[in-house]
Amino acid sequence: MPRNPRYDILFEPVKIGPKTAKNRFFQVPHASGMTNAAPHVRAAFRGMKAEGGWGTICTGACSVDPSSDDSPFPFATMWDESDIRSHAVMTEAVHEHGALAGIELWHGGAVAMNRTSRIAPLSPSGVPWMATHVPFMSAQRPKIMDAADIRDLIRWHSDAAVRAERAGFDILYVYAGMGYLPYQFLLSDYNQRTDAYGGTVRNRVRLVDELIDAVREATHGRCAVALRISLQELRARPSDLAESEAHEVISLLKDAPDLFDVKMDYSASDCSPSRFTAEGSHEPVVDFVKTLTDKPVVGVGRFTAPDTMASMVRRGVLDLIGGARPSIADPFLPNKINEGREEDIRECIGCNICISSWHDGVWVRCTQNPTAGEEWRRGWHPEQVKRDGNGQVLVVGGGPAGLEAALTLGRRGYDVALAEARDDFGGRLLYETALPGLAQWRRVADYRLGQLRKMPNVSLYPASPLTAQDVAEFGAQHVVIATGARWGHQLCAANELPMPALDAPRIYTPDDLAKGVLPEGPVAVFDFDNYYLGSAIAEDLAAKSLPVTYITTAGAAAAWSFMTNEQPHIHAALARRGIACRTLEVVTGFDGETLRLSQIFSNERREIAARSLVIVGRRDGGSALYDELAAQNSPFSLHLTGDALAPGAIAHATYQAHKTAQSIGRAAAEIAPRRDAPFSVRALAPQHLAAK
């Protein structure tokens, strides 16, 4: 299909200082969890996006010195010569497809607590970066930088820039955002200095200006220099000289970098979940930048719709369409637009499992793209799979796992039959995506169904609840059981041991609500699953005008959703909907009128009135169908996958199903993962550590 002329504008080249990006698709720096210890994994992950048409591909944050040590979070380094080779593998993979390679030189300041290097963290004025979440808290406060520290910081950036150029990077970032050190100099709350680097906005901008100059001079103007800057707080601050401090800062720096990369200030607003934030949510904060500078501007906003992207350029908001999550979910997004295949885009659902991977300290994972992070280790490709399938496969269950298994097996060339008991495909998504804010998650099913319907070798059978006898009679060579998991009625004890179910009326699980049960109010939602669902159900019931109390064993609502940046938004949503939120409590009894609660540490007891109890707790996988088939001496190979194998987030189901589909009919050696290893790292030179 030819490209839609409406999108021609997205394929125009853009000059970025001495370099030219071949199009406007710009993969901005984003965390991947891939450190220098896994150079080939990282290169393949980034290179895949270049193959998919992104004109510029950047690393994630890359520390310029051991005084910026983010452990236990994963981060890349450009500390000395021994780091160059590991990055060069990535730039080669990117250049192979005609894309530019960018590196985000990074110093975390008071955000990076140097837990491994144990160097005193640096800050403009000794003010710690606010941390409301335990993983980001520290028992250490930063030191106040003196003049020598500032000189060091500038030198570290210059030295890292020289190495970065040698590693093959085209664009070198100075990073003044997200609480990191140069950003702290911009904000008066963190910068209370009385020297030339503090006080007026002009003084507070000085360090960033000097860093940009230093990076440019170090590479003699051969590389483009980008400034990544957070503008949310600055824009909220009035200025005597401009519309806001953000306007003043950009005006002062308007000619300094070759590219402005503009963003929000906090992970939860910058990488905001779709449950609470729409596509293009950064625009009201960053829309003014292009009015103040002639330099190109890139920004993000979970752009997945080509019309939104084209409009950003046409309306003069952005020159380059920044993508982090959309590039993970679909590394081939630009090529698909270029080929007039917009309907094939695997749209990001905004679930933020990718960011949770970084919080977990592991390589990036994606709900929509199960191949993300596995390009090198398992040789998976988001669009292609070896067409070696021969014979017929029956997939039972049409939830995320069954759909993914059917898609990958279909692409492998198998004749695939996908049977789903219900009238519609989507499994758990059918109910969950009807809850407040979760509609975009339906894309997990929509994308796969859209692809499957185009495949002549795939047959879809809705309204087909299969028995073991049905499966045996079908006669396929391979059978995949993806029948999902069930929510249990069991409670949990203060010591987190599972407790038996209560015998009382009106006790429900999410499965009951999915069948259409509307509880009587007041309703108590007891959540010890601790991810999104309990809070989403509480929101839904409150939206249906029921009085709702949300109770959790954890110290915060939806505690694990901190990992996906949802938690602050969830607390706000519960408050907005008038839902009482009780933390650190377990349900110990319920008789249909009164709910008994106990504080998990003090055992203090309380009672609240409730007519119904919804338990969002234990989820059990397993499959009676699988067990029955496994007990028979069947002539087909039998595979259990998705939530039926091990219940979890949708990302785990699509991943397991993809893995199952890749393994069928293949020898163990063919699917064995590869193990990456770092290039040899020399000990740091003594002079490098001298000044700490």
Catalytic positions: 180
Residue corresponding to tokens 């209370």: 192
Nearest to 28 by CA among 63, 73, 59: 59
Helix (H, G, I), strand (E, B) or coil at 316: coil
Cβ at position 629, least distance to ligand ADP in Å: 11
Rounded CA-CA distance 614/326 in Å is 35
Query: Which DSSP helix (H) or strand (E) runs through 19?
Result: strand 19-21
For ligand SF4, the closer of residues 333 and 524 by Cβ is: 333
For ligand ADP, the closer of residues 428 and 478 by Cβ is: 428
Please name the residue ranges forming H helices in 64-134: 84-95
Q: What is the largest CA-CA distance in the chain?
A: 82
338 within 8 A of 5, measured Cβ to Cβ? no
Q: Which pairing describes strands 637-640 and 478-481: parallel, antiparallel, or unpaired? A: parallel
Say whether residue 529 binds ligand ADP (CB under 6 A): no
Instruction: Single out the residue of 381, 422, 582, 692 in contact with ligand ADP (rule: CB under 6 A).
Output: 422
Residue corresponding to tokens 């028979």: 632
Binding-site partner at residue 396 among ligand SF4, ligand ADP, none, CB < 5 to 8 Å by type: ligand ADP
Say whether residue 401 binds ligand ADP (CB under 6 A): yes
For ligand ADP, the closer of residues 138 and 459 by Cβ is: 459
Rounded CA-CA distance 388/666 in Å is 9
Say whether residue 349 binds ligand SF4 (CB under 6 A): yes
Binding mask 577-616 for ligand ADP (x = CB under 6 A): ----------------------------------------
Cis peptide before 522 (omega within 30 of 0): yes
Query: Which DSSP helix (H) or strand (E) runs through 173?
Result: strand 171-176
Instruction: Single out the residue of 29, 47, 331, 399 in contact with ligand ADP (rule: CB under 6 A).
Output: 399
Say whether residue 466 binds ligand ADP (CB under 6 A): yes
DSSP bridge partners of 550: 525, 581
Instruction: Single out the residue of 99, 328, 407, 551 in contact with ligand SF4 (rule: CB under 6 A).
Output: 328
Say whether residue 421 binds ligand ADP (CB under 6 A): yes
What are the residues whose beta carbons fall under 8 Å from the beta carbon of 442, sequence distance 6 or more?
426, 429, 433
670 within 8 A of 385, measured Cβ to Cβ? no
Residues 625-644, interacting with ligand SF4 (CB under 6 A): none
Say whether residue 367 binds ligand SF4 (CB under 6 A): yes
> Other CB atoms closer than 10 Å to residue 628's CB: what's the count?
14
Say whether residue 348 binds ligand SF4 (CB under 6 A): yes
Angle at CA of residue 415, ends 411 and 421, nearest 5° = 100
Query: Which DSSP helix (H) or strand (E) runs through 47?
Result: helix 39-51
For ligand SF4, the closer of residues 285 and 351 by Cβ is: 351
Rounded CA-CA distance 409/405 in Å is 6
Binding-site partner at residue 353 among ligand ADP, ligand SF4, none, CB < 5 to 8 Å by type: ligand SF4
First to last CA, the chain: 59
For 453-531, strand residue ranges (E) read: 458-461, 478-481, 486-487, 490-492, 498-501, 507-508, 523-527
Tokens of 219: 């590479």
Rounded CA-CA distance 413/455 in Å is 10
Say whether residue 565 binds ligand SF4 (CB under 6 A): no
Instruction: Single out the residue of 55, 400, 437, 510 in contact with ligand ADP (rule: CB under 6 A).
Output: 400
Tokens of 20: 């030219």
For 19-120, strand residue ranges (E) read: 19-21, 25-27, 56-63, 76-77, 100-106
Tokens of 55: 């004109």
DSSP bridge partners of 479: 394, 638
For ligand SF4, the closer of residues 509 and 564 by Cβ is: 564
Cβ at position 537, least distance to ligand ADP in Å: 16
Say whether residue 353 binds ligand SF4 (CB under 6 A): yes
Binding-site partner at residue 247 among ligand ADP, ligand SF4, none, CB < 5 to 8 Å by type: none
Cβ at position 211, least distance to ligand SF4 in Å: 30
Say whether residue 17 binds ligand ADP (CB under 6 A): no
Say whether residue 442 binds ligand ADP (CB under 6 A): no
Q: Which pairing describes strands 100-106 and 171-176: parallel, antiparallel, or unpaired? A: parallel
Say whether residue 354 binds ligand SF4 (CB under 6 A): yes
Binding-site partner at residue 53 among ligand ADP, ligand SF4, none, CB < 5 to 8 Å by type: none
Binding range to ligand SF4, per CB under 6 A, among 183-191, 194-202, 344-352, 478-486: 344-352
Any idea what DSSP says for residue 383?
S
Binding range to ligand ADP, per CB under 6 A, among 148-156, 361-369, 443-451, 642-650: 642-650
Binding mask 473-512 for ligand ADP (x = CB under 6 A): ---------xxx----------------------------
Q: Which pairing describes strands 14-16 and 19-21: parallel, antiparallel, or unpaired? A: antiparallel
619 within 8 A of 529, measured Cβ to Cβ? yes
Say whether residue 267 binds ligand SF4 (CB under 6 A): no
Tokens of 657: 């199903």
Cβ at position 438, least distance to ligand SF4 in Å: 12
Say whether residue 121 binds ligand ADP (CB under 6 A): no
Residues 649-688, interacting with ligand ADP (CB under 6 A): 653
Binding range to ligand SF4, per CB under 6 A, among 343-351, 373-381, 603-611, 630-638: 343-351
Binding range to ligand SF4, per CB under 6 A, among 1-9, 323-331, 471-479, 553-561: 323-331
Rounded CA-CA distance 26/46 in Å is 12
Nearest to 600 by CA among 579, 615, 583, 617: 583
Instruction: Single out the residue of 643, 655, 659, 660 in contact with ligand ADP (rule: CB under 6 A).
Output: 643
Cβ at position 61, least distance to ligand SF4 in Å: 18
For ligand SF4, the closer of residues 246 and 653 by Cβ is: 653
Q: Which pairing describes strands 25-27 and 320-323: parallel, antiparallel, or unpaired? A: parallel
Say whether residue 438 binds ligand SF4 (CB under 6 A): no
Cβ at position 302, least distance to ligand SF4 in Å: 8
The sign one gets for the Cα dihedral 19, 23, 28, 32 is: negative
Say whether residue 397 binds ligand ADP (CB under 6 A): yes
Binding range to ligand SF4, per CB under 6 A, among 121-129, 363-371, 508-516, 571-579: 363-371
Which residues of this protein are in contact with ligand SF4, per CB under 6 A? Answer: 325, 328-329, 348-354, 366-368
Which residues of this protein are in contact with ligand ADP, per CB under 6 A? Answer: 396-402, 419-422, 427-428, 464-466, 482-484, 625, 642-644, 653
